[in-house]
Amino acid sequence: MDISARRASFVDISMEMASIRSKMSGIYVLSIESHALGHIGNMPEALSKYLFGCTASSHRLSARMFLASFSAAISLCTNIQPLWAENSSTSNASLESLAKSAARAAAGRNYDLAEAIYKQCVTIAERNVDQPDCLIDSLENLAGMYEQTGRKSDASRAYEQSLRIAEQHLGPENAGTTAILDHLATLYTDQHHYERAEHVVSRALSLRIEALGPTHRETSDTREFLARTLARLGKYTEAAQQYQQEIAVLERSGNLDSVPVLDILEQEAHDWRLAGNLKEAIQCLQKLIILGEKNHPEKTIRLTMRAHLVLSEIYGMQNKLRECEAELTTAWIKADQISPPAKQLIAWNDIGYSCSVRRCFTKAVQCYQKSLSICRLKLPREDQLAATAMQNLGIALNSAELPLDAERQFKASLVLQEKCTGRSSIEAAYIHYLLACTITPRPLCQIRAEYKRCADIVLTTPPSLVPDPSHVAPWVFETANIFSAIDRKLARKLYTRSLELSTRSDGPHCAISVRTAKALTELDQGKD
């Protein structure tokens, strides 16, 4: 078919689309056939204008009419493909027009249309074997749309295909290849595929060190990403070593006086501690305190306070009681100096939690009483932070074997929490759980009622709306244990919800996910 015949075919298809559009009650009044005849040498603009009208008016069309009009657009793409093959600039402009139309559809939440157009872009680009950049861009656009709509697996597959093409045609050291590796690492992490993420981000780090040097900001970001990934895999020593390398690079370049360095040191100390290397952890924390007090004493007071607190915990583990008390006293002094009130409140909560972990419940009670007094004096009367402070104080009192005082705090916290977040909030459900766990002289039916109220709220809240699922999953699991002996149907629902939450937050192989899956299996087999 010669060029004139192809153009005639193009006009015929344009007239067919005009006939379809004439049934749209004037929604898209610009005539596509006039664009086709007026821009017979500029078909990308004709296609762009048609798709713009199709996208802009799609929400007002019937499904049948819309599909017919969109099919005509795809037919146009297919029939003018031979012309594109003869003119690469025309082909690129047409793909750009399609991509813009898809982006408009996605922005209007018309994701089915966006996906169809992006897939058509990929199909067209696959035919233009001499221009791999177009195919890579089209696949990345499709992957980005999948990622935007939560289709992580589909996005991963599209990026993987894009990566193979980029490595083949652009080379493994190309900046575009490295960018695709970044996308894949993020997606694998979101899906809890940490082994894959480690492999991909390690490659990206090696490429950036070679291309940009070890001190470049992008190299540093990639190294920290790798450290976080290693920590998620439980490779705490390797994670800490990555942070150690980052500190060494910053030290050689004379950049140790910045606040982000202190965050890196804190995370390095955390990983050394989890790895059991307390000596390295202590050195990191001491270095953090020295740098923070020397360079940014006001900005980093809360950070250095936490460092003193962790040092106190480590010395307690080593039975160095004098050093433990000295670090805890310093943390108390710094907590009083923190402002504004909301951050000071968080500081006292941190100290109270640390004391609770070390079973120093009397000191924990004192810390939470301080945080509660801050709430009453410096924050609005119905502030959610006050409800949390009462709740924390109740937990400490219960641990200190003062259940009646704890019950009073929980009830006061529940009243305030319901005013702030509603009677059916997850925060309120947690307080019902705490009330049920508090051992006080009361009828068994009241205890069961608290557990039942907690269960009802959890099961009526969609998992996607649950805040901090890694914190919620364990106490939902414990609530399911209570009902496993008296209401197996309800227990199964609670175990299932706990598994959903723990899998979403920490993956299917975390401790709580494994325990919950085992409990579900035993429940189904009829075991107690």
Helix H or strand E encompassing 136: helix 132-148
SS3 per-residue string spanning 329-376 = HHHHHHHHHCCCHHHHHHHHHHHHHHHHHCCCHHHHHHHHHHHHHHHH
Q: What is the mean pLDDT of residues 22-28?
A: 42
Q: Beta-carbon neighbour count of residue 527 at 10 Å?
A: 9
Whether 135 has a pLDDT exceeding 60, the answer reads: yes
CA distance 97 to 88: 14
Q: What is the mean pLDDT of residues 87-109?
A: 69
CA distance 117 to 47: 12
CA distance 423 to 415: 9
pLDDT in the model for residue 54: 53
Mean pLDDT of all residues belonging to the chain: 83
**Which one, of 351, 425, 348, 350, lies nearest residue 384 by Cα?**
425
pLDDT in tens, 176-226: 899 999 999 999 999 989 999 999 999 999 999 999 999 899 999 999 999
pLDDT in tens, 442-493: 888 899 999 999 999 999 999 989 999 999 999 999 999 999 988 999 999 9
Q: What is the mean pLDDT of residues 82-104?
A: 62
């599209």: which residue's tokens? Answer: 158
pLDDT in the model for residue 17: 52
pLDDT band at 45 (very low <50, low <70, confident <90, very high): low
pTM of model > 0.75:
yes
CA distance 17 to 80: 15
Q: In residues, how long is the chain?
A: 528
- With beta carbons less than 8 A apart as the criterion, state whether 91 and 85 touch: yes
pLDDT in the model for residue 68: 54
**Which one, of 216, 218, 258, 261, lies nearest residue 243 by Cα?**
261
pLDDT in the model for residue 475: 95
Burial of 135 (0-12, 13-18, 19+ CB in 10 A): buried
Burial of 14 (0-12, 13-18, 19+ CB in 10 A): buried
Whether 116 has a pLDDT exceeding 70, the answer reads: yes
**Which one, of 378, 351, 383, lies nearest residue 365 by Cα?**
351
More confident residue, 281 or 54: 281
In this predicted structure, which of 147-161, 244-258, 409-423, 431-445 has the lowest mean pLDDT? 244-258
pLDDT in tens, 223-264: 999 999 999 999 999 999 999 999 999 888 887 777 789 999
pLDDT band at 29 (very low <50, low <70, confident <90, very high): very low
pLDDT band at 98 (very low <50, low <70, confident <90, very high): confident
CA distance 241 to 109: 44
What is the percentage of the chain residues whose pLDDT exceeds 70?
A: 81
